[in-house]
Structure 1
Amino acid sequence: MKSKLQLLKDIAEFLNEETDRNTMIDGALRLLIDHSDFETGWIFFIDNEGNPELKAHYQLPPSLEKEGYHHLCEGKCWCVNKYNNKELERATNIFVCSRLEKARMEYPDENNNITHHATVPLISGDESFGLLNIASPYTEQFAKDELDLLESVAFQIGSTLKRIELNAQEQENMIIMERQRLARDLHDSVNQMLFSIGITSHAAKTLDNKEKLSDAFDSIENTSKHAMKEMKALIWQLKPIGLEKGIIDAIEKYADLLGIELEVTVSGFYDVPDNVEVGLYRVMQEGLNNVRKHSGSAKAEIVIRSKADELEIHIMDDGIGFDQKEKSGYSYGLGNMKDRVKKLGGILDIQSQKGNGTTVKVIVPIGE
């Protein structure tokens, strides 16, 4: 076991380099558990309505993994209630945890002798993100130095979550500024060319000399071609990097990089905002990553169906599949996909059976 100071230093160095929220909390939790006397841990994010969502876990006892983490995720508990009531400020021993108790009662021989846990809020300034929970076998109460360590780690994680959030806002502001610059360029260049075309075409109406009329038409044609080229260049700049030629071209190229033979079918016409297009592209990327890593197949199919007010996407493979009762809970790849779809106001559904492949179904609204 590392010293407390060395462990905090290692976690701080890891957090300083992380820019992705999910990999950050997963890695920090692993470092904490692997290099301390704590045996297991899990992290809840809690939304503005007070609903907890399991975002990371490590070395859980089988009783908490059963039924898609049912006992860990369902029902009310003391720590979440205290958090929602803003009564939880420091690391605290939980003497009776309803979640652990229900799991222990249903699976008495599969709880690895874990009956209690400690909890601490993930806070940065006035902002709260959720809870960090840790537990160990045969431990009903953690010592003060262990709670102090837990508080320090939670503070580091909370600060990093805030930094990542601020970085995302800064990137969004940069995108807005870039769009404003492109709008000015559009006005200064293309608008002037369109004005020139208008003046030339108006003057051409009064010409009766065929040679001068031909010159006017040549000028209009050349100026319009130049305007089209400028417009195309500006539109490409507005597109996210990698999506300049559209989401279909981008995902096909990504499949080539992964060595996956991909078939894409599109039904209907759709036009979505850039943030939706980027989100869907990331979801499809993650889906193909899962095909490559877990399906045992080198083939995949993506079907995109556009309806009146929603876009439906199916990511399918003919691989080995999996038992959903065993893997219906948290996993990093699926967690990322669910987060992205949720931010788009959509839903994600997974259908799989052993030996029959896997289908990931995504539906996002595209209404005005």
Structure 2
Amino acid sequence: MHELLTLKTIAETLNQSNELEPMLNTALAKLLELTGLTTGWIFIVDGAARHESAAEYGLPPALLYNDREPMACSRCWCLDRYKDGRLKNAVNILGCKRLEDAAELRWGDTNGITHHATVPLWSGERRIGLLNVAAPGKNRFSDGELALLQAVAFQIGGAIERMRLYAEEQRRADRFARLGEFSRALGAAASAVQAPRELADRATALIGEHFDWPVAAVFDRVGSDLVLRAVHAAGGSGSVAAGLRLPLKQAGWLEEAVRDRHYCAATPAEAAALADRGLPPLASAMAASIPAAGSGPASILLVGEFKAGDAHRADGEVLEALGEHIAAALESARHAENRRELARLEERNRLARDLHDSVSQMLFSLSMTAKGAESMLRVPDPEAARHAVNAVRDMQSLAQRALKEMRSLIMQLRPAGLEAGIVTALKDYGEKLELRVRTQVAGVRELPRAVEEALWRIGQEALNNVSKHAGTGEAEIALQLTLDQAVLRITDRGPGLAKPAPLTQQQSYGLLTMQERAESLGGTLSVTSGSGQGTAIEAAIPLPETGQQEVSDS
């Protein structure tokens, strides 16, 4: 009955707290009280065979010497037997090496304690640590006492495992909440950078902002080496130069992360060896792959700590998710860069066609007219001279038209005047096309450079269409700026179209280019027209939430 009461009391004690240290200290005190023992301590031993004292009760002065220095010793008979797998059940220890050393070195009074019983802590098949109990003058425990201690040890081991699982779930929830914040910040960064290489630097900095890993680094796979692309180091470690090489054969655990697409943890020696390759001196490190699109080689995301610690499964899962998020952001940045390059190529092709269709043909006509005028001037005939004069006048007209067209194309290549505002610049451009332009602006706020550039190009193309195809010399430019979008509307006073075709069916290269510019920034482009009502082109592009509104007309 006493044994059952002891087990019941210990079980109740272990279920009264969700904090490990208070729970173990209370349970240890209850155990000693119920068994008539006076001294006890619990070691938790991790997978790397490091031990830490998780609970202590009634330690003699000899074991409290110099801030518990004897308890930190990693070599003793019970720990040696535990680490090499010989300690399976509760046993008597013939003598305590810690107490013997304390007595020999005169660290203090042992209170008559010379021996203790030691019991391994288990949770299922998993070893967790050790329970040691003792009393003055007691140098042997009976089989019944050892059996009771074994049963209590199973209870304590199960409670420690429960606490670990609870803490792991709490850590996982916290890590994934931070992952969501990181992902949003990374998405914003991906839309702001101009080159994918810049995104790796931003990603490591964001990891430092949203997680408590003091070191984060990205390695690229180049042949059989890993090349340090970006690194963020906090905690006073100083800056680290990128571009350093790490042969994969010298870091098998990183090769495993690349090969298996699964997070890997470094041993203390492997983590420390990274200091020879440009990283700060680390006590622990984990790595996961950053998958590459297609069949390209994967990169590596590495995080590290300056102090030793367990590799938590939750951290590994989040690290794998971080690698996937960074991979998606890098791929998105590469696509955006490709789209910008295609837009530049399309712009060059359009300008080449415009040069061929307008300026080139005018210059060819100018050349042929000049040759004809030269032939007529060689003939001493008044009639030929009169035709030559007319030819020179035609040459002058062609030269002026070519100059006007060339200035228009140059204006498209070099958007001068934007510092005065997008509407002012478009008005000046329209007047250079000999249009009478009326403007209206609603709202005042600063536009992002990419949005301003897109609206400038869309406005240019729309005004060109008015000049060439609308059959009118008047246009209206209206810009509306709100908290969340910029809307540019260009309207002409021409005859319009009875039934305009949808944009998807339009064959106009200019309209398709305007639509692509708007959609590349998440916006839309619409064309409305009616017979006798003119044509309106409207581009709406979303903006970050900032700014205030006013209204002005001109």
- Asked whether 1:123 is paired with 2:294, we answer no
Q: CA deviation at 1:149?
A: 0.7
Give 1:197-208 correspondences, 5 Å limit: 197-204=366-373, 205-206=375-376, 208=381
Q: Distance in 1 between matches of 2:316 and 2:404?
A: 63
Segments of 5+ residues of structure 2 without an aligned counterpart are 1-170, 417-554
Closer/same/farther in 2, CA of residues 172 and 74 from structure 1, 3 Å limit? closer
User: Match for residue 172 of structure 1?
Assistant: 341
User: Match for residue 14 of structure 1?
Assistant: 185
Looking at CA atoms only, which structure, 1 or 2, has the larger radius of gyration? 2
User: Match for residue 147 of structure 1?
Assistant: 316
- Check whether the contact 2:219–2:226 (CA below 8 A) recurs between aligned residues: no
Question: CA-to-partner distance for each residue in 1:57-88, whole Å, 9 max, x for gaps?
Answer: 231663x85xx659x93553545895499524
- Check whether the contact 2:258–2:300 (CA below 8 A) recurs between aligned residues: no
Amino acid at match of 1:73: L
Normalised by the length of structure 1, the TM-score is: 0.53
Closer/same/farther in 2, CA of residues 57 and 46 from structure 1, 3 Å limit? farther
- Asked whether 1:194 is paired with 2:363, we answer yes
Closer/same/farther in 2, CA of residues 97 and 193 from structure 1, 3 Å limit? farther
Question: CA-to-partner distance for each residue in 1:157-212, whole Å, 9 max, x for gaps?
Answer: 11100110011111111221222111111111012212321332233223543443
Q: Distance in 1 between matches of 2:408 and 2:221?
A: 43
Q: Distance in 2 between matches of 1:101 and 1:54?
A: 18
Question: CA-to-partner distance for each residue in 1:100-126, whole Å, 9 max, x for gaps?
Answer: 33748x99xx84xx3231111111443
Question: CA-to-partner distance for each residue in 1:262-305, whole Å, 9 max, x for gaps?
Answer: xxxxxxxxxxxxxxxxxxxxxxxxxxxxxxxxxxxxxxxxxxxx
Q: Distance in 2 between matches of 1:81 and 1:230?
A: 64
Closer/same/farther in 2, CA of residues 118 and 233 from structure 1, 3 Å limit? same
Runs of 4+, deviation exceeding 6 Å: none
Amino acid at match of 2:219: F
Closer/same/farther in 2, CA of residues 4 and 75 from structure 1, 3 Å limit? closer
Q: Distance in 2 between matches of 1:99 and 1:7?
A: 25
Amino acid at match of 1:123: P
User: Match for residue 230 of structure 1?
Assistant: 405
Q: Distance in 2 between matches of 1:76 and 1:51?
A: 6
User: Match for residue 174 of structure 2?
Assistant: 3
User: Match for residue 264 of structure 2?
Assistant: 92
Secondary structure in structure 1 of the residue aligned to 2:247: coil
Closer/same/farther in 2, CA of residues 118 and 197 from structure 1, 3 Å limit? same
Closer/same/farther in 2, CA of residues 53 and 37 from structure 1, 3 Å limit? closer
Q: CA deviation at 1:96?
A: 5.6
When the two chains are superposed, the root-mean-square deviation of aligned CA atoms in Å is 3.8
Q: Distance in 2 between matches of 1:190 and 1:15?
A: 46
Higher RCO (C-alpha under 8 Å, 6+ residues apart): 1
2:328 to 159, 165, 168: 159
Secondary structure in structure 1 of the residue aligned to 2:327: helix
Secondary structure in structure 2 of the residue aligned to 1:206: helix
- Asked whether 1:184 is paired with 2:369, we answer no
Secondary structure in structure 1 of the residue aligned to 2:311: coil
Q: Distance in 1 between matches of 2:312 and 2:263?
A: 11
- Check whether the contact 1:122–1:128 (CA below 8 A) recurs between aligned residues: no
Amino acid at match of 1:198: S
Q: Distance in 2 between matches of 1:36 and 1:236?
A: 48
Closer/same/farther in 2, CA of residues 168 and 201 from structure 1, 3 Å limit? same
Amino acid at match of 1:134: V
Closer/same/farther in 2, CA of residues 45 and 86 from structure 1, 3 Å limit? closer
- Check whether the contact 2:287–2:303 (CA below 8 A) recurs between aligned residues: yes
Normalised by the length of structure 2, the TM-score is: 0.37
- Check whether the contact 2:283–2:308 (CA below 8 A) recurs between aligned residues: yes
Q: Distance in 1 between matches of 2:386 and 2:401?
A: 23
Closer/same/farther in 2, CA of residues 195 and 184 from structure 1, 3 Å limit? same
User: Match for residue 395 of structure 2?
Assistant: 220
Secondary structure in structure 2 of the residue aligned to 1:138: coil
Q: Distance in 1 between matches of 2:222 and 2:333?
A: 17
User: Match for residue 322 of structure 1?
Assistant: none
Closer/same/farther in 2, CA of residues 35 and 101 from structure 1, 3 Å limit? same
Segments of 5+ residues of structure 1 without an aligned counterpart are 243-368
Q: CA deviation at 1:89?
A: 1.3
Give 1:269-308 correspondences, 5 Å limit: none
Secondary structure in structure 2 of the residue aligned to 1:90: coil
Return 17-26 or 155-164, whichever deviates more: 17-26
Secondary structure in structure 2 of the residue aligned to 1:135: strand
Q: CA deviation at 1:46?
A: 3.3
Secondary structure in structure 1 of the residue aligned to 2:291: strand
User: Match for residue 53 of structure 1?
Assistant: 228
Amino acid at match of 2:398: T
- Check whether the contact 1:14–1:28 (CA below 8 A) recurs between aligned residues: no
Closer/same/farther in 2, CA of residues 6 and 230 from structure 1, 3 Å limit? same
Secondary structure in structure 2 of the residue aligned to 1:170: helix
Amino acid at match of 1:202: K
Q: Distance in 2 between matches of 1:32 and 1:83?
A: 22
Question: CA-to-partner distance for each residue in 1:25-65, whole Å, 9 max, x for gaps?
Answer: 34433343344342322222334674503323231663x85
Question: CA-to-partner distance for each residue in 1:336-360, whole Å, 9 max, x for gaps?
Answer: xxxxxxxxxxxxxxxxxxxxxxxxx
Q: Distance in 1 between matches of 2:284 and 2:315?
A: 14
